[in-house]
Structure 1
Amino acid sequence: MARMNRPAPVEVSYKHMRFLITHNPTNATLSTFIEDLKKYGATTVVRVCEVTYDKTPLEKDGITVVDWPF
């Protein structure tokens, strides 16, 4: 299967808050996604799109996943 090019995460800071804007991973790209989250020190993921991956691996790594679909 061809590798998909994904945009790099973008960090946005506002006052005392930091946000990391990322692509929506799949189960196949989840390990890279988790590595990116750890690199930026992320502790919470807010999913605002349809679910494309299992949140269990993130929770096992101490990352909280909140679903707020639009």
Structure 2
Amino acid sequence: MVVAGEIRTRLVEYGKFKIVIMDAPCDENSHMYVRELKQLGVTDVVRTCEPTYSPELFEREGIEVHEMTFPDGAAPPEELIQKWNGALAESWDRDVARAYASADSHRSYRCG
């Protein structure tokens, strides 16, 4: 987790998809993440870590928060991989450009 005045994000683009990898927000800095994510066109956040922030601000700003947590240092269970792939496929099938942000930069790369 980062301190209240700092945020870290990394944008990865593939075709029409944007995936933003970011550190886990906290309640004190989540407004900064929301601002950054909205500028990038993010519509969904996938939380892979333990909750460190309330999803209410994100949802109020039109960013849906999906819970896909798994233990730090572990591989995601097959069920979560299927859920992640299903969400991406749904967006692809509808031909919708959708951006995802995965909270917790240490875990997000494992769900792809």
SS at match of 1:53: coil
* Identity level (%): 29
Deviation at 1:11, TM superposition (A): 0.7
> What displacement does 1:30 show?
0.9
Cα distance in structure 2, aligned partners of 1:55 and 1:13: 24
Alpha carbons 1:46, 1:67 under 8 Å: kept = yes
Q: Which amino acid aligns with 1:45?
A: V
Task: State the partner residue of 1:55.
Answer: 55
Corresponding position of 1:10: 10
Change (3 A) 1:60 1:49: same
- What's the secondary structure of 1:43's corresponding residue? strand
Higher-Rg member (1/2): 2
Identify, as 1 or 2, the structure richer in helix: 2
Question: Deviation at 1:6?
Answer: 4.2
Q: Which segment is superposed worse, 13-22 or 46-55?
A: 13-22
Q: Which structure 1 segments of 5+ residues have no match? A: none
Contact 1:6/1:23, CA 8 A, preserved across alignment: no
Report the equivalent of 1:30.
30
Shift in Å, 1:40? 0.6
Residues matched between the structures, number: 68
Native 8 Å contact 2:7 2:32 kept in 1: no
Greater relative contact order: 1 or 2 (C-alpha under 8 angstroms, separation 6 or more)? 2
Displacement of 1:16 after TM fit?
Answer: 2.7
**TM-score, normalized by length of structure 2?**
0.55
